[in-house]
Amino acid sequence: MLRHTRLLAVVACLMVMIAAIGGVRAQSRTVVTWLVGLGTGTNDQQIEAQNRVVEEFNASQSEIELVINIGASFETTRDVMATLIAAGTPPDIAGPVGVGGSNAFSDQWADLTPYIEATDYDLSVFDPALLDLYRTDDGGLVGIPFAVFPSMTYFNRDLFDEAGLNYPPQNFDEAYVMPDGTEVEWNYDTIGEIAKILTVDGNGNDATMAEFDPANIVQFGLNFQWAALRLVWTDFQPEDWYDEAANSVTIPASWRTATEWLHNGIWNEHFIPSNTYASSDLFGAGNVFQSGNLAMAIVPLWYTCCLGDSVGNFEWDFGVVPRSLDGQYHVATDADTFRLTKGSANPEAAFTVLSYLLDEAVPTLAPTYGAFPARPEYQQPWIDARNAQFDWGINWQVPVNSLAFNNPINQHHESDLPNWQKVSDRVNAFYTLLTGDTGAEIDVAAELDTLQSDLQAIVEEQ
């Protein structure tokens, strides 16, 4: 009760503040509110940058007064958002927020189509695959791309050189050249074979050798760095796993195949680290690729944030993701943007602000968020900043080219379904079981059947 009372007080203060600002300014100014905290944006550096954007926008014109409200945490911001919606006074704009973060309010986001058409907003700068991330079943558009983080195959050049192996392909449709010179498709069978050669024990034996000791591994071939299992499943094969009409969730056959592949890679062929190995000091206490003792990691572009200690220790680069189980390229992309709420009191003015945040404000906001801009004209400054940090000639064209293979929203690894957070928690618990100390002994098929049953019960909860 006390927490609820405090929250109501915060919301009341916010509404008074907005009203006061509106009274001080000339009445011709329309107040637009921007809520931050459903995703990133709450640390001191980000707050300073966001406040600067607000000041610059307000100074650039005399029609709209932009007011920002920054939550203390995701939970606090979510509660503020829910309370404002219940009171009929939602913020006009919320964000930046990712796909998963937006699911808590999936029925509150406005279709931007009428405002796009009214203003002749140019969507042609975006690859159509990126726009599909925000398409609704009826053809609406609930978001415009802002920050995008496509998945790629990070690889350690030094470990490949030491093993005498060719690097992963850096172009889509490029074959991989095996040690014997044969060219093969870059898929999960290939990456598994290469990963075994790159997995080495303390005596210098790799995982293809009879003498290899899986209890004394000092270098691994592959992991999916910090990925939730749904993202890993989607790497193997994007699927639409929720039937809204039937209110049913299904673990597809492709994801069952992927799970068996993972289990085999961890416990039988030993080229993927278990949780115990991954959390050890030798492997960076969880940041396995940065430790320098992992050859490849399939992970979205945001992971560049966490590779500072690689400088001076080893050189890394990007390869494209392997082909999925259907033989096609599919790229799991994390993405953040700003959303316009359905209940906005001033949607036309809010769309003007939204357009500013998605364009003119990008040079200020993208660096503070660590965001790779979706708009091509702002990508090079981001790349230049990374080149200054990682100065050995990384192929940044790989992430740019990867955006054309982005998965649509119904096949995204954070696509919405009832009780989304509970579903995610249950899937993550299964992943912990799979990779944990007892993972070698589990019956994967039986555990997947249990998971399927549990997920169905969760989506049916009222």
pLDDT band of 18, cuts 50, 70, 90: very low
CATH number at residue 425: 3.40.190.10
- Residue 375 within a domain: yes
pLDDT at 338: 98
Domain shared by 124 and 11, yes or no: yes
Domain shared by 228 and 356, yes or no: no
Domain shared by 234 and 93, yes or no: no
Q: Is the pLDDT of residue 22 over 80?
A: no
Domain shared by 160 and 299, yes or no: yes
pLDDT at 74: 86
Q: Is the pLDDT of residue 14 over 90?
A: no
- Residue 35 within a domain: yes
- Residue 426 within a domain: yes
Q: Is the pLDDT of residue 3 over 90?
A: no
pLDDT at 165: 98
Q: What is the pLDDT of residues 355-377, one digit of tens each?
A: 999 999 999 999 999 999 999 99
pLDDT band of 217, cuts 50, 70, 90: very high
Q: pTM for this one?
A: 0.92
**Rounded to an integer, what distance in angstroms lies between the CA atom of residue 12 and that of residue 71?**
14
- Residue 25 within a domain: yes
Say if CB 19 and CB 53 are below 8 A apart. no
Could you count the other beta carbons within 10 Å of the beta carbon of residue 312?
A: 6
Q: What is the pLDDT of residues 420-430, one digit of tens each?
A: 999 999 999 99
Cis peptide leading into 96, omega within 30 of 0? yes
- Residue 48 within a domain: yes
Domain shared by 97 and 161, yes or no: no
What does the mean pLDDT of the chain come to? 93
What is the mean pLDDT of the segment spanning 9-14?
44
- Residue 396 within a domain: no
Q: State the residue range of the domain holding 66.
A: 2-148+335-388
Domain shared by 86 and 226, yes or no: no
**Rounded to an integer, what distance in angstroms lies between the CA atom of residue 184 and that of residue 172?**
13
pLDDT at 7: 42
- Residue 264 within a domain: yes
pLDDT at 285: 97
Into how many domains does the chain fold? Answer: 2
Question: Nearest 5 degrees, angle CA 450-CA 453-CA 458?
Answer: 125
Say if CB 203 and CB 186 are below 8 A apart. no
pLDDT at 137: 87
- In terms of Cα–Cα distance, which of 72, 7, 36, 79 is closest to 337? 36
Domain shared by 66 and 197, yes or no: no
pLDDT at 28: 87
Tell me the residue length of the chain: 462
**Least confident segment among 5-9, 71-75, 412-416:** 5-9
Domain shared by 125 and 225, yes or no: no
Q: What is the pLDDT of residues 172-192, one digit of tens each?
A: 999 999 999 999 999 999 999
Domain shared by 252 and 297, yes or no: yes
- Residue 395 within a domain: no
Domain shared by 79 and 135, yes or no: yes
pLDDT at 27: 61
pLDDT at 72: 87
pLDDT at 73: 86
Structure tokens at 37: 């905290």
Q: Is the pLDDT of residue 94 over 70?
A: yes
Q: What is the pLDDT of residues 108-137, one digit of tens each?
A: 999 999 999 999 999 999 999 999 999 998
Residue with tokens 């007080």: 9
Domain shared by 355 and 284, yes or no: no
Domain shared by 127 and 154, yes or no: no
Q: What is the pLDDT of residues 313-370, one digit of tens each?
A: 999 999 999 999 999 999 999 999 999 999 999 999 999 999 999 999 999 999 999 9
